[in-house]
Amino acid sequence: AQKITQTQPGMFVQEKEAVTLDCTYDTSDPSYGLFWYKQPSSGEMIFLIYQGSYDQQNATEGRYSLNFQKARKSANLVISASQLGDSAMYFCAMREGRGAQKLVFGQGTRLTINP
Amino acid sequence: GAGVSQSPRYKVAKRGQDVALRCDPISGHVSLFWYQQALGQGPEFLTYFQNEAQLDKSGLPSDRFFAERPEGSVSTLKIQRTQQEDSAVYLCASSLNTGQRNEKLFFGSGTQLSVL
């Protein structure tokens, strides 16, 4: 079974609009962390935001925020006031358990910002 | 260095050739990971090192894949007798290994391997 599911292969948004990228996850471990990474055409994965399973509030980092709905096992990324430079692949990832190290990634969403 | 460095950036190999991909992690980073990313897909975990110890190699697809990190710094991913299905981008990542759940991985730009 997929641990991380991103159901939107591609998204097209007008510049300055907000966009939500969906992510659902599957785990039976009560302790886990969720990450979002951006991958521009250069190939490097850039960390955007983190949400822990015990965090009471939704994470925010500048224009990025995470809509964390624990009961639904969803962790959607919200980008406000999108910019042309936001065009890239976006990946949701999860780390399970304590001390576990590796991240498990979803299939990604390709976001295109139109001028 | 300032970031994770991978070389070569591009590698073209004939089917059956052996290849070696290099990763220089961020100085002082204890943990090192290799991922394989097929075109249009998310990264798939291959293997994990803590210093020189390879603690998890559950993602290596076959015994043709071998990774090492002999001095706990630079790592090499070796693929023997390459096949067309090995064509992918190979990403290396490193982290401090604080044990915290929120510890992020720092990625290199990857090596794009094409097997003809």
Record the tokens describing residue A68, joined without a space: 């964390």
- Cα B53–chain centre separation: 15
- Confidence at residue B2, expressed as pLDDT on a 0 to 100 scale: 83
Of residues B114, B113, B116, the one with CA closest to residue B22: B113
Percentage of chain A lying above the pLDDT 90 cut: 90
Kindly list the residues from chain B whose CB atom is less than 8 angstroms away from the CB atom of residue A103: 45, 105
Residue A100 confidence (pLDDT) above 60: yes
For the stretch B5-51, pLDDT in tens is: 999 999 999 999 999 999 999 999 999 999 999 999 999 999 999 99
pLDDT-wise least confident of A96-105, B11-20, B63-72, B76-85: A96-105
CA–CA gap between residue A51 and residue A59 (Å, rounded): 6
pLDDT of residue A99: 65
CA A89 to chain centre: 10
Mention every residue, 6+ apart, whose C-beta is less than 8 A from residue B26. Answer: B1, B2, B3, B4, B94, B106
- Prior bond to B8 cis, omega within 30? yes
A-B contacts at Cβ under 8 angstroms:
62
Output the pLDDT for position B97.
Answer: 80
pLDDT value of position B83: 97
For residue A7, is it left (φ>0), alpha (ψ between -120 and 50) or beta?
Answer: alpha
Whether residue B1 has pLDDT greater than 70? no
The DSSP string of chain A is --SEE---SEEEEETT--EEE--EE----S-EEEEEEEE-TT---EEEEEEETT-SS--EETTEEEEEETTTTEEEEEE-S--GGG-EEEEEEEEESSS----EE---EEEEEE-
Query: Two tokens at B22?
Result: 């290099």
Residue B52, both tokens: 């020189």
Chain B positions in Cβ-Cβ contact with residue A43 (cut-off 8 Å): 89, 91, 109-110, 112
- Confidence category of residue A111, pLDDT binned at 50, 70, 90: very high
Digit-coded pLDDT (tens) for A52-96: 999 999 999 999 999 999 999 999 999 999 999 999 999 999 998
- In this prediction, residue B102 carries a pLDDT of 87
Is B87 in a helix, a strand, or coil? coil
Chain A residues whose CB is inside 8 A of the B105 CB are 45, 47, 103
Q: Is the pLDDT of residue B92 over 90?
A: yes
**A10 pLDDT above the threshold of 80:** yes
Minimal-distance CA residue of chain A relative to B111: A43
